[in-house]
Amino acid sequence: MASEVVVVHANETPPQWWDAAVFLAGPLPRDPGVASWNPEAIALLRDQWTRPGRLVVFTPELREGVLTDYTGQIEWEHRAMHDADVVLFWVPRDLATMPALTTNIEWGIWYATGKVVYGAPPEAVKNEYLRHLAESRGVPVAERLGDTVAAALAMIGDGARREGGERSVPLLVWRTESFQTWYRAQVHAGNVLEGASLEWTFRSGARREDVVFWAAHVRVRVSAEDRVKTNEVVLSRPDTSQVLLYRPGATLDETVIVLVREFRSPASTPDGFVHELPGGSSRGQVDPAVQALDEVREETGMSFTADRLRPVGVRQVAATVSAHRAHLFAAEITEAELEWFRAQRDVPHGDGGTERTWIELASYGEIRRRALVDWATLGMIAQALHVSETEAGRR
């Protein structure tokens, strides 16, 4: 498909599909004698958008005439900014002709979302605070309109085809495997995403470009019930890998389990720590088994070979809270390995940064009686032990 740029002016209905969308945010003239920067930005986008596919450009300017009152288009602008993959801020502030007071508010709403670029000419006044916030949040910053446009298109990359309600999912979330896993499940069930509003992201990386967690208020048509569900937020993160390391006992309750104790801020436990199976996630590792081995080594100090792991299954962990899944594995340990773990109980492990873990050993019966782990972890342990006993019986 050839490159195409579609310009959507204030209060106009956008097309039903696109590969990328940009919203032009910044001060606009209230007097016909003052030149607007939007036409130049649109021309630059037309010139620089050379990828196959459709780029939609939302401009808050009217197709004809000069905007004198935002009242009639506030909701249109808010919806367009939500739907855009990038909100391009260009702030040529002039206190006499374009004071950019509304721009200040819009910038305050969007600067930390991960979907903005910021530009302003050096001669523009009263922009120091906006620029400081941009630089402190890893937002691309430019002093020429052409460079600002280039930064927006670099953020978009090749884009991705979306239609209908999919248009409301910006690329930074659309590209995550966690979103695609959730969305594939919805499509498989016959449900339809009718719209979404990105509420929050937690990001990492040098420029905070990697989405770790995301939350979106969604509107989903539930085909089995012929209704639209609109009152929930989907929260997700990368899938995790967990490993049950166990030493069989004379009875199931006497089976010894290797846990890790770690301070996690959400913990509502008597000691303020979570007690869980070794595990976690890594956005750079796509093989759950390799990820599982990495997490065991990081959180316990013990290295295992891949042939020691037995896959148990993949399930959501807490389906009413988060869309992510856990890949569960099990490995029977030797008596010598169990003694090694015992000797390591007072030795801290972890990633050497924010994560610090401690080895704990407990029998299955003790875990159940003391409510030592949360319901999700208890379920993983029970399932893995059941599978292991079943396989042992077959042998």
- Check whether residue 213 and residue 326 sit in a common domain: no
- For residue 381, is pLDDT > 90? yes
Phi, psi of 236 (to 5 degrees): -155, 170
298 and 362 co-located in one domain: yes
Whether 370 and 268 map to the same domain: the answer is yes
Specify the pairing of strand 20-25 against strand 86-90: parallel
Q: Would you state the pLDDT for residue 351?
A: 84
Q: Is the pLDDT of residue 117 over 90?
A: yes
Contact between residue 217 and residue 197 where contact means Cβ atoms under 8 Å apart: yes
Residues 57 and 92 in one domain: yes
Of 213, 236, 259, the one marking the end of a domain is 236
288 CB burial (10 A radius; 0-12, 13-18, 19+): buried
Which domain CATH number covers 337? 3.90.79.10
Q: From residue 205, how far is each of 36, 211, 240 by CA, in Å?
A: 36, 9, 19
- Is the torsion defined by CA of 35, 41, 46, 48 positive or negative? positive
Residues 204 and 246 in one domain: no
- Mean pLDDT, the chain, rounded, equals 94
- What distance in Å separates the CA atoms of residue 222 and residue 324, rounded to the nearest whole number? 20
| CB within 8 Å of 213: residues ≥ 6 apart | 200, 201, 202, 235, 236, 237
Give the model confidence (pLDDT) of 169-202 as tens digits: 999 999 999 999 999 999 999 999 999 999 999 9
Q: How far is CA 216 from CA 174, 193, 194, 198, 314, in A?
A: 11, 12, 13, 4, 24
What are the pLDDT digits (tens) for 309-367?
A: 999 999 999 999 999 999 999 999 999 999 999 999 999 999 878 899 999 999 999 99
The torsion angle over the Cα atoms of residues 251, 256, 261 and 267, rounded to 10 degrees, is -10
pLDDT of residue 10: 94
Q: What is the pLDDT of residue 395?
A: 56
Query: Which of 212, 236, 260 is where one domain is finished?
Result: 236
The three-class DSSP label of residue 334 is coil
pLDDT of residue 65: 72
pLDDT at 69: 67
Backbone angles phi, psi at 22, to 5 degrees: -125, 135
Question: b/e for 211-222, b at 16 or more Cβ within 10 A?
Answer: bbbbbbbbbbbe
Query: Which letter does DSSP use for residue 48 in this model?
Result: H
Using 50, 70 and 90 to split pLDDT, how confident is the model at 121? very high
Does 179 lie in the same domain as 125? Answer: no
Q: Cα(99)–Cα(199) distance, rounded to whole angstroms?
A: 29
The verdict on 192 and 336 lying in the same domain is: no
Q: From residue 217, how far is each of 3, 52, 231 by CA, in Å?
A: 31, 30, 8
Tell me, yes or no, whether 28 and 135 share the same domain. yes
**Domain boundaries, position 103:** 3-156
Cα separation, 325 vs 314, whole angstroms: 7
**Residues 263 and 275 grouped into a single domain:** yes
Q: What angle do CA 305, 212, 349 make, to 5 degrees?
A: 45
Number of domains in the chain: 3
In this structure, which amino acid lies at residue 106? E
Out of 156, 188, 205, pick the residue that ends a domain.
156
**pLDDT-based confidence at 55, cuts 50/70/90?**
very high
Residue 233 in 3-state DSSP? strand
Verify that 146 and 170 share a domain, yes or no: no
Residue 32 has a pLDDT of 85
134 shares a domain with 199? no
Q: 362 and 227 in one domain?
A: no
Tokens of 360: 């704990």
Q: Which residue has the tokens 């979907």?
A: 115
Radius of gyration in angstroms for the set of CA atoms belonging to the chain, rounded to a whole number: 26
